[in-house]
Chain A
Amino acid sequence: DQQVKQNSPSLSVQEGRISILNCDYTNSMFDYFLWYKKYPAEGPTFLISISSIKDKNEDGRFTVFLNKSAKHLSLHIVPSQPGDSAVYFCAADARDNNNDMRFGAGTRLTVKP
């Protein structure tokens, strides 16, 4: 069940420009969203999160936007750097007694120098 969808398998941007990664979800019970970054041969690492009570959360060059009515969130990276090249996973969870997050298929970001 693809409750979390990342429809763009890859994205390529120039260094210094903005990277925008998109994610859609179908389960209206989701109220906590996260982005993970994964380098080759490593496990995913937590990047940034947002609760459904907010529509924006910023951490340095990374900003996550949430549009609850559209069931859509996006990750903005400004400015993009070559070291940002990785696979980015969107994840969503519902506020309940467990932490069975659902992940999207990932978007491979390539930042060109």
Chain B
Amino acid sequence: DSGVTQTPKHLITATGQRVTLRCSPRSGDLSVYWYQQSLDQGLQFLIQYYNGEERAKGNILERFSAQQFPDLHSELNLSSLELGDSALYFCASSVDGYSGNTIYFGEGSWLTVV
């Protein structure tokens, strides 16, 4: 158990809909990351937050958005969903968000768009 909690574990929704994935970081960690893993793809970095502020942005679509709240939990919002958005979405956290620190992953949220 990494200490990173993600909900829901599984989600099935229709195209065009909107979903929210939730993440609670490890106790004491200030930085949260979101990654997407599609079939046969590596972990694609989406976005990083540190203490409520966006720190880095990767290959995140404009239809997707995220935020980190004062209690440090984070939400990833996916809207106007398409079939290709079906993937495993991982949240991860680290103590301070700076390069070189190990990041710890949650178990992921499986999203299926039908």
Contacts and interface: CB of A to CB of B under 8 A. Distances in A.
Contacts of A103: 35, 42-45
Contact of B107 (A34, A41, A96, A106): A41
The DSSP consensus for interface residues of chain A is loop
B58 interface: yes
A41 B108 CA distance: 8
Interface string B55-87: 110110000000000000000000000000000
A32 interface: yes
Nearest to A103: B43
Contact of A89 (B2, B40, B42, B107): B42
A45 B104 CA distance: 7
A32 B100 contact: yes
A43 B4 contact: yes
A20 interface: no
Contacts of B42: 4, 6, 89, 103-106
B35 A46 contact: no
Contacts, number: 79
Nearest to B100: A32
A98 B45 contact: no
Interface residues of A, number: 31
- Range class of the B interface residue count: 20 to 34
A101 B105 contact: no
Nearest to A104: B42
A47 to B, nearest CB: 10
Given A32-B100, A105-B42, A106-B42, A99 B33 contact: yes
26 contacts: A1-B59, A4-B42, A9-B40, A42-B107, A43-B108, A51-B100, A89-B43, A91-B43, A95-B100, A98-B56, A98-B97, A98-B98, A98-B99, A99-B55, A99-B56, A99-B94, A99-B97, A99-B100, A99-B103, A100-B48, A100-B55, A103-B42, A103-B44, A104-B42, A105-B41, A105-B42
Interface of A: 1, 4, 6, 9, 32, 34, 36, 41-46, 49, 51, 89, 91, 93-106
